[in-house]
């Protein structure tokens, strides 16, 4: 077998295609992956998920990856994390002039043959995104990622919830059959700059289970406001969250024949979610570009940065380049569209949030129906004022604090 070599000491050298099951079940002491950046993202992810724990179980096991860059993909993630001492790898770049026979004359000849962009990538080893990206190439190059506080079951958390902070969740839904991803992002919108604090991404989760995860995270993040895209299966997700899980902080979206869709404070003539039309996408993309490039929305996530590098203009609209995904980006597009709405700006204002809470309190009190009482010989919680029953002050304060925590 030309792919295998056995040495005198019993050691073996073997080659394998970089596939999901390429070295599954084999005991490897040294793994070398050549042209690592060329391996498709999905194959690289599955390959390392299935083999990396076994490889690294040995105390002396080593992994070596070499490659020229190919966009902001999995190889860039490993390189970026290595430079920040986050993954156990050591980064080493060998410039062309360190290789015998490659001088300035050679470089100029290569530039003529390859063109400047390819020369920058293939010779200077510069990470480049696709052309015509929504976010400028210079800005993408300046974006950086940080480690998650924790990551479990496709939920990555960069910051834990902070008391009294206001959070917004934008939701994109897929059918859960291994194609596009169901994704949502959690944004801290308490003040500028907005900040990504958590994200979820899974292409196999059922739309019937997805609402439970969204609702759990929303409750953890101070009962965050949720905006669901309802173009396809998303309507079912929104309905389950609202009707079955009885979560109330869902954004209603009204529609005007002249001005299009807008956030609504009630369900009158409105739907539980937004339909991504050309207008919504255009406004959302334009606003997202401004937020990112002006540092008004901070994104320290490697997956989103990677999606930005391949989110390109095609036929007058922006979408993922061929072979890539934009599910996380689309949640940010929805969030950016919502951030332009007057109702969103009202929710952002702390005084307005307090006013909404007080209004909700009045509404709850007005809707309380009369009921009878049984004398259990305990100190009564109610007292009569002007012919009406009222909670005593000490109980009233407890109720207000409970409702304030739930509503705000």
Residues 283-317 have pLDDT tens digits of 999 999 999 999 999 999 988 998 998 899 888 88
Sequence-distant (6+) residues with CB within 8 A of 214 are 169, 171, 184, 200, 226, 237, 241
Ranges of the chain whose pLDDT falls below 50: 1
What domains does the chain contain, in order, with CATH numbers?
4-92 (no CATH), 145-348 (3.30.420.240), 350-407 (no CATH)
Output the pLDDT for position 353: 58
Alpha carbon of residue 258 to chain centroid:
32
Output the pLDDT for position 391: 57
From 319, 317, 296, 298, select the one nearest 307 (Cα to Cα). 319
Show the tokens assigned to 303: 């997956």
Output the pLDDT for position 225: 94
Q: Residue with structure tokens 């801290």?
A: 188
CA gap 396, 402 in Å, rounded: 10
Output the pLDDT for position 1: 47
CB atoms inside a 10 Å sphere around CB 184 = 29
Output the pLDDT for position 161: 96
Query: Exposed (0-12), middle (13-18) or buried (19+): which is 389, by Cβ within 10 Å?
Result: middle
At 12, is the secondary structure helix, strand, or coil?
A: strand
What would the DSSP string read from start to end of 130-148? -TTBSS-HHHHHH------
CA gap 227, 263 in Å, rounded: 10
């Amino acid at each position: 077998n030309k792919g295998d070599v056995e040495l005198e000491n019993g050691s073996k050298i073997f080659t394998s295609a970089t596939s999901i099951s390429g070295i599954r079940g084999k005991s490897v002491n040294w793994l070398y992956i050549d042209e690592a950046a060329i391996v498709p993202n999905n194959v690289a992810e599955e390959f390392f998920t299935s083999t990396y724990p076994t490889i690294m179980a040995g105390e002396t096991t080593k992994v070596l990856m070499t490659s020229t860059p190919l966009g902001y993909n999995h190889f860039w993630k490993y390189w970026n994390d290595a430079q920040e001492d986050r993954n156990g790898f050591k980064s080493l770049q060998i410039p062309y002039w360190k290789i015998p026979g490659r001088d300035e004359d050679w470089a100029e000849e290569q530039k003529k043959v390859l063109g400047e962009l390819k020369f920058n990538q293939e010779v200077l080893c510069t990470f480049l995104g696709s052309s015509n990206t929504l976010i400028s190439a210079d800005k993408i190059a300046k974006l950086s990622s940080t480690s998650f506080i924790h990551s479990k079951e496709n939920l990555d958390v960069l910051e834990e919830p902070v008391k009294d902070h206001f959070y917004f969740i934008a939701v994109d839904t897929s059918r859960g059959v291994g194609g596009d991803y169901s994704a949502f992002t959690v944004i801290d919108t308490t003040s500028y700059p907005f900040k990504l604090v958590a994200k979820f991404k899974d292409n196999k989760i059922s739309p019937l289970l997805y609402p439970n995860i969204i609702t759990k995270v929303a409750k953890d993040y101070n009962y965050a406001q949720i905006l669901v895209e309802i173009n396809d299966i998303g309507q079912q997700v929104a309905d389950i969250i609202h009707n079955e899980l009885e979560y109330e902080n869902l954004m209603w979206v009204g529609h005007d024949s002249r001005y299009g869709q807008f956030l609504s404070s009630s369900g009158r003539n409105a739907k539980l979610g937004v339909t991504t039309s050309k207008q919504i996408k255009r406004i959302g993309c334009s606003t997202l570009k401004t937020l990112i490039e002006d540092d008004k929305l901070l994104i320290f996530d490697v997956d989103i940065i990677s999606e930005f590098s391949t989110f390109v203009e095609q036929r007058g609209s922006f979408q993922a380049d061929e072979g890539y995904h934009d599910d996380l980006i689309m949640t940010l597009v929805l969030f950016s569209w919502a951030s332009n709405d007057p109702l969103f700006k009202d929710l952002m204002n702390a005084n307005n949030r307090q006013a909404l809470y007080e209004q909700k309190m009045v509404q709850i009190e007005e809707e309380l129906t009369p009921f009878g009482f049984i004398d259990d010989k305990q100190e009564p919680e109610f007292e009569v004022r002007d012919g009406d029953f009222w909670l005593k002050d000490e109980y009233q304060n407890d109720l207000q604090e409970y409702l304030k925590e739930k509503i705000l």
